[in-house]
Structures are given as structure tokens and as C-alpha cells.
Homo-oligomer: A and B are copies of this chain.
Amino acid sequence: MTDDEQRRPVTTAATSLGILERLKSGGPMGPTGLASELGLAKSTVHRHLKTLEREGFVVPDDDGYRVGLRLLDFGIYARDQHQLYEVAKPKLDELAEQTGEKVWCVTEEQGRGFHLYGAAGAHSVRTPAREGTRSYLHQLAAGKAILSAFPDERVRDIVDRHGLPAKTPRTITDPDALFEELATIRERGFALNREEIVPKLHAVGVAVTDNEGHPVGAISISGPSNRLRGDRLTGDLADLLLGAANEVEINLNFS
């Protein structure tokens, strides 16, 4: 059904984007290193780099080239365009102060979760997530909340496309188990994450939907597992989140 196979991709452009991704995942590099890692000729990479540099997408560095701040310009623009961001942001700051934990706002794009904004509470712990981070939806409390608001068919497409890769032994890797979990989430209204992405890290997540019931994203609270457990997790914090999500939903429909 999902014809992922693109008929005739622009391979030249894809090469440039591949260089960009390599510079992000592998750190600053020069033409020689990139060429050997990407299986291209030095001269080819060189020409691509010069073109990317002309547009500000890469910048010369001591160790070769690195991704340029022009991408921050684009990225922040993309975030600001998102309806959820501006509405949820003040509410997230409020939640972070109230709970003292880390509060995130996540949205879906192409079947993946993107961390739009994170508010740090007084006792919030450091996690691998940053703003902009792209994650698998099934590995996040907020992600599972989003999935629970999708029709089953859509969830199945996403699972087919991206699979259910594991991050910890507790990550959901079985489609059937995922659908069971989503049913539970739909019933009680919020999603839980118990060490499914980072050991010793728990989280609660609630979907934010538009007036047609389609999810525009989700908000979540995450923190150390010994602080986020029992009634505090499934009671106070979940209720707080449900209320906040509801507020955001109302504001969304009038903006």
C-alpha cells in the first residue's frame, strides 16, 4: 500500500542532504572523510560542500565543515509555524514550575515524533531528548498518546514503515502488544512510559486533538522512576496533564 519506493528521486539533491546528515551524525569532517564514508569521489563531495556553503547550510570549521546556523533559522521557523507550539509553550512552562519535572510537547510528522519544546522544572533530570529530537512514537509517552488518537489503520501504516525498534528491554516491540496498550490509553485518557526509552525514566503523556479528534501532538511529564510512580504518576500528574491538554485544545480552536 505504502509505495515508499520513489520512482525517480533527485539523486544529486539526495547526495547533498546525505552529506548534511553525515555532518550531523559524525561531527565536523572534510571532503576526504565524507567521501570515504559515503562512497563518493573526493571532488564530488567537495563540489557539494561548496554549494551547501554558498547557501549557509554548512560552514568551514577547524576539522573540515560543520552544519551551519542557517539550519537553525529554518528549524525555528518550522517550529513557530506549528500551531501547537505557541499555544502549548506557556502552559508547559507553568506545568514545569508546578511539578518541578521536565515537561515536553511533541508532535508527529511522517510517522515520527518531534520534540517541539521542553520546559525544565526545578528538579528536572537530563535526558537524551533535546528540542528538535526525532524519536519513534512507540518509545514515548507522548508518542503513544498520539498513536492512541490515530485510527488503527494509520498506526499499522506507521508500524509497517518504521517498525518497533527497542531502546530498552521494556520497549514495546510487538504490534499486538502495542495495540493493546493503545486501547488502554484510549480508555483511561493518558499514556504511561516506564523505562521504555531510558532506564530509570518514567513519563505520562496526553494527546492534544483538534475539534475533529485528530491529534496535533501531545504533552508529557517525565522524570526519575522513583519520583514518578504510584498515585503521583497515575493520579496527580496525569490529572494535571489532562487538564492542561484540555486547555490547550480549547485555545487551539480559537487561533
Q: Which residues of A contact B (CB under 8 A)?
A: 6, 8-10, 12-17, 20-21, 24, 47-48, 50-52, 54-57, 59, 66-82, 107, 109-110, 112, 114, 116, 130-134
Instruction: Check B24–A74 contact: CB distance below 8 A.
Output: yes
Residues of B within 8 A of A110 (CB): 56, 59, 68
Residues of B within 8 A of A133 (CB): 73, 76
Residues of B within 8 A of A132 (CB): 69, 72-77
Best-buried of A15, A20, A54 by chain B (most CB within 10 Å): A54
Known: A72-B76, A107-B69. A50 touches B9 (CB 8 A): yes
> Which 8 A-B residue pairs are closest in the complex by CB-CB distance?
A75-B75, A72-B75, A76-B132, A72-B132, A13-B16, A12-B12, A69-B114, A73-B132
Q: When the two chains form the complex, which single residue of B52, B69, B82 contacts A79, counting CB atoms closer than 8 Å? A: B69
Q: When the two chains form the complex, which single residue of B47, B57, B77, B79 contacts A17, counting CB atoms closer than 8 Å? A: B57
Residues of B within 8 A of A116 (CB): 69, 72
Known: A57-B17, A74-B24. A109 touches B69 (CB 8 A): yes
Known: A109-B59, A132-B73. A10 touches B16 (CB 8 A): yes
A42 CB to nearest chain B CB (Å): 15
Closest residue to A77 on the B side, CB-wise? B24
Bound complex: CA A77 to CA B28 (Å): 12
Instruction: Check B47–A9 contact: CB distance below 8 A.
Output: yes
A8 CB to nearest chain B CB (Å): 6
A210 CB to nearest chain B CB (Å): 12
Best-buried of A54, A67, A78, A133 by chain B (most CB within 10 Å): A78
Bound complex: CA A166 to CA B62 (Å): 33
Instruction: Check B73–A74 contact: CB distance below 8 A.
Output: no
Closest residue to A76 on the B side, CB-wise? B132
**Can you sample 24 A-B contacts with CB below 8 Å?**
A6-B54, A10-B16, A10-B51, A12-B13, A13-B16, A13-B51, A13-B52, A14-B51, A16-B16, A16-B17, A17-B55, A20-B74, A24-B74, A56-B109, A56-B110, A68-B110, A69-B134, A70-B134, A71-B71, A71-B74, A73-B133, A74-B75, A74-B132, A75-B75
Bound complex: CA A81 to CA B15 (Å): 23
Instruction: Check B78–A74 contact: CB distance below 8 A.
Output: no
Instruction: Check A131–B6 contact: CB distance below 8 A.
Output: no
Residues of B within 8 A of A75 (CB): 69, 71-76, 132
